[in-house]
Structure 1
Amino acid sequence: MRKEPPAQLRALRGPRVLTLVAVQFSIVLICMVATLLVALQVQHTSIREETGERTLAVALSLAELPAVVDAVGEPDAGVTLQPIADLVAQSAGVDYVVITDDEGIRITHPVPERRGEMVSTDPSVALGGETFVGTEVGTVGPTLRAKVPVWRDGIVVGTASVGILESSISAQLEDRVWQVVPWVIGAGLFGLAAAAGVSLVLGRRFDHLAAAAQELETQRRLSAALREQTHEFSNRLHVLFGLIEVDERGEALDYIRSLTPVDSLAADADLEEALADAPVRVRAILAAASARLCEHGGQLHADVEGDDRAVLELLFDDDAATVLSNLVGNATEAVEEQGARGIVRVAVEAAPSGLRMQVDDSGPGVPEELRGQITEVGFSTKETQTMDGLEIPRGVGLGLVRRLAREHGGDLVISESELGGARFVATLSSAGARRGAGGSSDAPTAGRIAP
């Protein structure tokens, strides 16, 4: 199963991700606004340059027209030039076209009442033979205008002025902006979505790395604690070895009782009788489980069957002891809270083909939907235990049992017990039976004991 991040990381993930997304949104928003402002400035500069160049080109073209050059200064110049000025203004898309004489008197103007009057802005630059491009406030309002001289025979005889209202430039800029805004917003949203996706991926990666780092630190501290316990356990074994070596059996038993609350099989006559012919390892495992159950008022029943004790002793090796110890330990834990109602029933059956170990309990049982998962390493339905503030890894025992059973040609089957709890049946084929199955031995092959 996928290992979930620690609770602290899960609790911090939401606020941390929201904060990260908020920061990214702010950055993207700032970038969008900055981009929009830059675009506005670029567009504004570009429009003004284009407008200035356009008004200058129109004014120069107008000032060079032969009809304009010939008419300026004549008594009926307005009759000839006004239609030309109106046509140029309309075709060039400018707001006004004004032609003056050499004194700055208007010959043409969009407003008839203004014709024949002195221009409202200084005409000296153009009358002096120079070109002027810039913004001035005239009779029609602020305009970006170009003023150029009208030459005839090398003499300035008038001026041609072409202008575009600043309001028209602003409207043009606004149109340009609305063309750019959707692209800026689209790019910003895309950037935000991409940033959120990257944040999600990096957040998960961070969770994995943080969980791995925390787990590594936990394992390191747990290893240190286990080394201390191992050292202490080794010292106790040395004490026990010394007591047994000097034949102080009673002192050794008292020393063991001082370390953990255990008692001999004599405390349960029925169990002692049932295990009279059982292998020493079976007796030791079940005696310890019985003592643990007695602390809570529970009971342990055992039935050990085998046609030949020597065969049973031979088959019940270290792996078999590990399997039985884990199954009995799990069953004992399952019924401890039941007190006097807690019952564990153990049956060990030996035959030339192998071992069959069945453990029943009166505990809560294992739901059918979890029976396939409960043997996975790391999966556990039990509450997490701690040692010196460190979480103790769970979900190891049943996975080990299944692995050992399968390595010995058997399996582990989980079902419902008649006692109301769970039933665990582990089968281990004997070495002779496994060789016989491969056709390399003449040893008896009664077949694998079925669960």
Structure 2
Amino acid sequence: MRPTATPLPRRRRLRLQLAGLQVVIVLAVVLAVAVAVMVVEDQRVQDQAYARVGTVASHVGNEPAVIAALNTEDAARVIAPIAQLAREVSGVDYVVVVGLDNIRLSHPDPEQIGRPVSTDHSLMRQGESFSGIESGTLGPTLRVKAPIRADGQIIGTISVGILQSEVRAQLNSIVVGFAPWILGAAGLGTLLSLSAARAIRRRIFGVEPDEVPGLLQSQNALLYAVSDGVLGVGPAGRITLCNGEAETLLGLRESVVGRIAEEVLDPLLGAMPEEGARQVLVGERVLVVSRRNAVAGAARADAGYTLTLRDRTALEASLRELAGQRGLADALRAQTHEFANRLHVLSGYLSVGAHQKAQEYITRIAGPQERTAVELPDPGLAGVLSANAAVAREHGVSFEVSAQSLVAAGAGADGDLLTVLGNLLSNAIEAAGDGGRVEVFVRLAGQQAELRVEDSGPGVPPEQAERIFTRGVSAKDQSTQPHGIGLALVQRIIQRRGGTIEVGDSALGGAQFAARWPAATGQGN
């Protein structure tokens, strides 16, 4: 049975094709260079040959002894030795001096002296010169033929030449001399091209050229179809990709591809852990940033890492609102239970006829009433204050709205004010703790919005007054562990609105946060 050849895998065939293409390119370039060198050298050798025979013809033709002996009976005896000496010294193959009778007066072969020349000298006797290749008694030669003049009159001609075979031999020696360099360059170029191909394959993690279009299509489909921001950072620490959603979430106004990741991302996201996810504040957006390290190839080479950005701003706002509603519901549930117990006590007093005791009990439990947010006309503001009052009551914190609070007619609380107030009250209630006090002042009048939240908690040391607004630092304790992002968000909102926020000591014994900013036109409407 005839064995069948097993076809090479497509990946291997493609590798061989690429390697073969690179080798062919290198060899073609080297061959082209070699041909160009040979053409240049051939022209140079011929030019040198023509220059040499032209120089010899000029010197011999102007030699006084040659001029004096021409057209005399002893011309051959005088001129032949001079021409022989010139031929031997210059290295040309022949020097032939011809009289006006077209008879040779010198020749390398003595038997040719006294015989007519084998080539046409008529043009030289008319005063012209000739440079080129002609065949004579010695064979094809590169020759120069010129007239010999005396007192302006042409008295003879001279022909000097070099055998074409000798010129070719000189060119061949030059070719043989640089042939090893050409072969060496071809071999070295082949090795370097193969090494470069191998290095490029490592850099692109073994991806084949026919796989590139599919990868690009998949990348574009993934990057621009998802609603999350995606950032890629290569092994060298430079950003390799950034989709449009990532630019929007990070507030980037120009492309960052190619820039160093630490310079771009650290000011926005802080130092990221090796892997995992964490919540950060970018501008006024609450983002969840997930990092996943990337590896490639069977060797699992480091391919950098990918950051996925998810916007949780709306979710965080909903969670804060839900927490407030849940706190209000818990407070109402506790109040319902407490009211039920009080009704049972009153029922007991009345059932035994202790009317005086019942009246005293009613007076005692009614007591002085807390001032609550329901006294302020804005519904959004009243809702935030009511929810936090319920949370404070649940935590055993006395909650009071300052009697000097004011919401002027036509004014109202916008989303920024409610966010700032909610975060400050949440921090104050937690800082005050069981048995503590929280007091809030709100003033919306004219073109100014003012907030002041005070608590009876431990306060904020002066050296921490600026640091508590840093992302990941809390005013509730002085540890360095990461906490919420409420105060950082508060500061950024107030700065955007062109306002200020100050931290100081409260008359209640804890911290006081005082914020003010210009009210927006039509705020609350």
Same fold (TM over 0.5): no
TM-score by length of 2: 0.38
Greater RCO, 1 or 2 (C-alpha within 8 Å, sep 6+): 1
